[in-house]
Amino acid sequence: MRFSLFIHMERWDNSISHEEHWNNLVELVQLAEAGGFGTVWTGEHHSMEYTVAPNPMVSLAALAGKTSTIRLGAGTIIAPFWNPVRAAGETALLDVISGGRAEIGVARGAYQFEFDRLAGGLSAKDGGTYLRELIPAMKKLWEGDYAHDGEHWSFPTSTSVPRPVQGDGPTVWVAARTAETHDFAVAEGCNVQVTPLMKDD
């Protein structure tokens, strides 16, 4: 059995500064590494003090320099907020910085207030089409030259710069809550992340 740590800078009030929260997070990750944990995960959320995590790549890159063996997982990036070229490049750069320890989770997104601020009011429920377009494009960019003309993104021939250290690219995880998304993850050769939910939406 493998254990992982899922962590954000959760902040109930301003009694502890963001700097102190970050230092506490680093210490906890280092303790997890020393205890044999396999992966640390951190997600993406915006304008939310309870979950201070605007870009998991920044946090994980910083943690790469303070750890040596624990794998570093973005769990997750929100697909509609990421162009595939950006997602491929930033994930690959994390892989380079960490010496091949990067993993990437992709989600459709959950909180409508984030979509109201970052995606022009797109319904969070419609984020799944972005997820299903982003992942194959990102993986093809890791392989080499690739042009894309999709429903949500179009770009001329591009490639991931840098290329990931891990030959086939970092392990890709899909945050899945519907049968359709589970089937997509399996068909794409991805791992699945699931979370118990109070509502089936």
Q: pLDDT tens-digit profile of 71-110?
A: 999 999 999 999 999 999 999 999 999 999 999 999 999 8
Q: What is the reported pLDDT for 122?
A: 93
Take residue 22 and report the two structure tokens written for it.
């970050």
In sequence order, the β-bridge partners of residue 149 are 154
> For the chain, which residues make up each domain, given as ranges?
4-193
Decide if 155 contacts 164 (C-beta within 8 A): no
Q: What is the reported pLDDT for 13?
A: 85
What is the per-residue DSSP string for 59-80?
A: HHHHHHTT-SSSEEEEEEEEGG
Is the model more confident about 1 or about 103?
Answer: 103
Q: pLDDT tens-digit profile of 23-32?
A: 999 999 999 9
Instruction: Please tell me the distance from the alpha carbon of residue 178 to that of residue 195, in angstroms, as a whole number.
Output: 11
Q: pLDDT tens-digit profile of 30-76?
A: 999 999 999 999 999 988 888 888 899 999 999 999 999 999 999 99
In sequence order, the β-bridge partners of residue 107 are 78
Q: What is the reported pLDDT for 39?
A: 98
Pick the CATH number of 4-193 from 1.10.3720.10, 3.20.20.70, 3.40.50.2000, 3.20.20.30: 3.20.20.30
Q: What is the pTM of this model?
A: 0.93
Quickly state the pLDDT bin for 187 (edges 50, 70, 90): very high
| Polymer length of the chain | 201
Q: How far out from the chain centre does Cα 90 lie? A: 10
